[in-house]
Chains A and B, each alone.
Chain A
Amino acid sequence: DQQVKQNSPSLSVQEGRISILNCDYTNSMFDYFLWYKKYPAEGPTFLISISSIKDKNEDGRFTVFLNKSAKHLSLHIVPSQPGDSAVYFCAAKKRLDSNYQLIWGAGTKLIIKP
């Protein structure tokens, strides 16, 4: 039962254009959604998050949109830069007793073409 899905294994975008990465989820109990970025031979690093009570969060070139009725979130990168080439993971947080757990998508490999 995949609760968090990233249906695009890879995405290729021209430098300077907008990159849009998508993520779908099935559980309405998630209270936060997070995006992580991963370069080869490194661990994932936190990029941006959004609370389930918001519909948009912006941080510089990165914006995450949340559509609760569609159970869909997207990460927009504008403008895309070569250093943005990486694997992007979507994760959803749910409470577990007094703590929490993250449920992860399979990742989308973003390739920025010069």
Chain B
Amino acid sequence: DAEITQSPRHKITETGRQVTLACHQTWNHNNMFWYRQDLGHGLRLIHYSYGVHDTNKGEVSDGYSVSRSNTEDLPLTLESAASSQTSVYFCASSARRVNTGELFFGEGSRLTVL
């Protein structure tokens, strides 16, 4: 069965360290997204990609970067982790031009920055 997987599921790091969260999907979807979920804010879009070599900033992109070198993967990098980036991160994917906008989500990566 096709799926979307995130790793690591849990990560504790120190302020200033570089952290990379992996996202891998086997749906062959063109669209991939990274969100963060914080209490009272719902899901906020960090970065997104509509295809290989395409990346775009979302509403909370400062301090984060992504790259899309193939269809399956969209790693999220925190260049210099800050305590404000302690959150649960979700990766999602969807097919291009899906009328309903349905996204498929990974199980999340909980990141703690000390």
Count CB-based A-B contacts (< 8 Å): 52
Contact B101 A93 (CB under 8 A): yes
Contact indicator A32/B42 (Cβ below 8 Å): no
Q: Mark B75-104, 1 if CB is under 8 A from A, else 0.
A: 000000000000000101000110111111
Q: How many chain-B residues does the 8 Å CB contact rule pick out?
A: 23
CB distance from A21 to the nearest CB of B (A): 13
Could you tell me the distance between the alpha carbons of A42 and B37 in the complex, rounded to whole angstroms?
12
A9, closest chain B residue (CB): B40
Interface of A is mostly: strand
- Say whether A44 contacts B105, CB under 8 Å: yes
Among B43, B50, B105, B106, max chain A CB count under 10 A is at B43
Contacts of A44 in B (CB 8 A): 43, 90, 103, 105
B53 within 8 A of A: no
Interface size on A, residues (CB 8 A): 23
Known contacts A42-B108, A98-B97; decide if A49 and B102 are in contact (CB<8 Å). Answer: yes
List, in ascending order, chain A residues with CB within 8 A of B97's CB.
98-99
Contacts of A49 in B (CB 8 A): 100-102
B100 and A32 contacting across the interface, CB-CB below 8 Å: yes
A-B residue pairs in contact (CB < 8 Å), sample of 26: A6-B42, A32-B100, A34-B100, A41-B108, A43-B92, A43-B105, A43-B106, A44-B103, A45-B105, A46-B102, A46-B103, A49-B101, A49-B102, A89-B42, A89-B43, A91-B101, A93-B100, A98-B97, A99-B50, A99-B97, A100-B101, A101-B45, A104-B44, A105-B42, A106-B41, A107-B42
Other contacts beyond A43-B90, A43-B105, A99-B31: 19, CB < 8 A: A32-B101, A34-B100, A34-B101, A41-B107, A43-B92, A43-B107, A44-B43, A44-B90, A46-B102, A49-B101, A49-B102, A89-B42, A89-B43, A93-B100, A98-B97, A101-B48, A102-B101, A106-B41, A106-B42
